[in-house]
Amino acid sequence: MAQVTLETLYTLWKNVSDWVTGVANFSPKVTVVLPTKNAKEPFSGSQDTTHTFSTPMTGFCISNDGDQDLTFTIGTDTFTVKAGEVFSEDFEEFTEVTITTTVPFRAYGRG
């Protein structure tokens, strides 16, 4: 049968104590990089417009500066923007937006 000495107990206690202290003081460094979407290729108008972006976009923002609704289409989805409203949303990648309007607007892509 193995004999347990005071020295063996102390060594075991010291190892456990060091481990617990290390775990308690562990402070991992985690860096999270979130993708950013910058405003790109602003354009404006007051009539029907099809705008083709030079690179794929993943967001779109449009301000209806007029006094009537306007619509825009990205892919197969058409959205209405009421007079005085701003629409800003993320989309799957796209390169073209069609705006149907007779009122002034300002718009840009985000990517």
Is the entire prediction scored with pTM above 0.75? no
Determine contact, residues 69/84, Cβ cutoff 8 Å. Answer: no
Q: What is the CA radius of gyration of the chain?
A: 30
Token readout for 45 is 């108008």
Give strand pairing partners of 10: none
pLDDT at 100: 98
Mean pLDDT value across the chain: 90
Q: Where are the alpha helices (DSSP H) in the chain?
A: 6-24
Q: Residue 4: its pLDDT value, please?
A: 75
10 vs 51, higher pLDDT: 51
Domain 39-110 has CATH 2.60.120.10: yes
Helix (H, G, I), strand (E, B) or coil at 18: helix
Cα–Cα distance between 84 and 67 in angstroms, integer? 7
pLDDT band, residue 32 (cuts 50/70/90)? confident
What the block records as the tokens of 59 is: 């967001």
Tokens of 2: 């193995």
With a cut of 80, say whether residue 23 has pLDDT above it.
Answer: no
- Report which of residues 20 and 86 the model is more confident about: 86
Confidence of residue 86 (pLDDT cuts 50, 70, 90): very high
